[in-house]
Structure 1
């Protein structure tokens, strides 16, 4: 089972974390399953950018982004070349390291 290393985020994961999830699991599902409450305003339907993450290591282990995901990412705050929507990025067989950006464009944050 690949490991996901989450770099520290002041609100969502202050100490950072290392979690494990089965191959094929979306990053968003894996984070939520381990009580890392990443925003996901569209309920993981690729209709917003609140679950945006930056893949610092292991990008090539994830599935290829779809055209729909790439179009949505254009709207993400703090977009970088290694950005992905965590609801669409599925784990491969190798470990990944991700950073959750400090801000999102969600104007009405809700607790799920």
Structure 2
């Protein structure tokens, strides 16, 4: 039987004002899961690990996710609001455990426009 982990998305002013709970098959990336469930997270590079616009902070369940690559870590260094639990959602693959994610208020794109 396929496992269906739950992603709890903490409230985000624009993308998910009430927050959300979505259930998706194991092996789905967080970015795909959000997009498939109507949460229009930015993904400027079409999920090819070439930008930081799909940056999320994993508040719960980080240890159950796949390890980040060196390429992802290098990119994350440029992300706005970087934290220890930050991941690029296009590179983060769900295992069997539920996770809680926070979408940062700004992406690098927004940060540039606002200055």
TM-score normalized with structure 2 length: 0.92
Q: Tell me what 2:7 maps to.
A: 4
Two-structure CA RMSD over aligned residues (Å): 1.3
**SS of residue in 1 equivalent to 2:21:** strand
Q: Tell me what 2:28 maps to.
A: 25
TM superposition shift of 1:35? 0.6
Q: Tell me what 1:93 maps to.
A: 96
Matches within 5 A, 1:42-81: 42-81=45-84
Per-residue CA shift, 1:10-50, capped at 9, x if unaligned?
A: 00000000001111100000000001000000000000000
Q: List alignment gaps of at least 5 residues for structure 2.
A: none
Bigger share in helix: 2
Choose 1 or 2 for highest CA Rg: 2
In the TM superposition, structure 1's runs of 4+ consecutive aligned residues that sit over 3 Å from their partners are: none
**SS of residue in 2 equivalent to 1:106:** helix
Number of residues paired by the alignment? 109
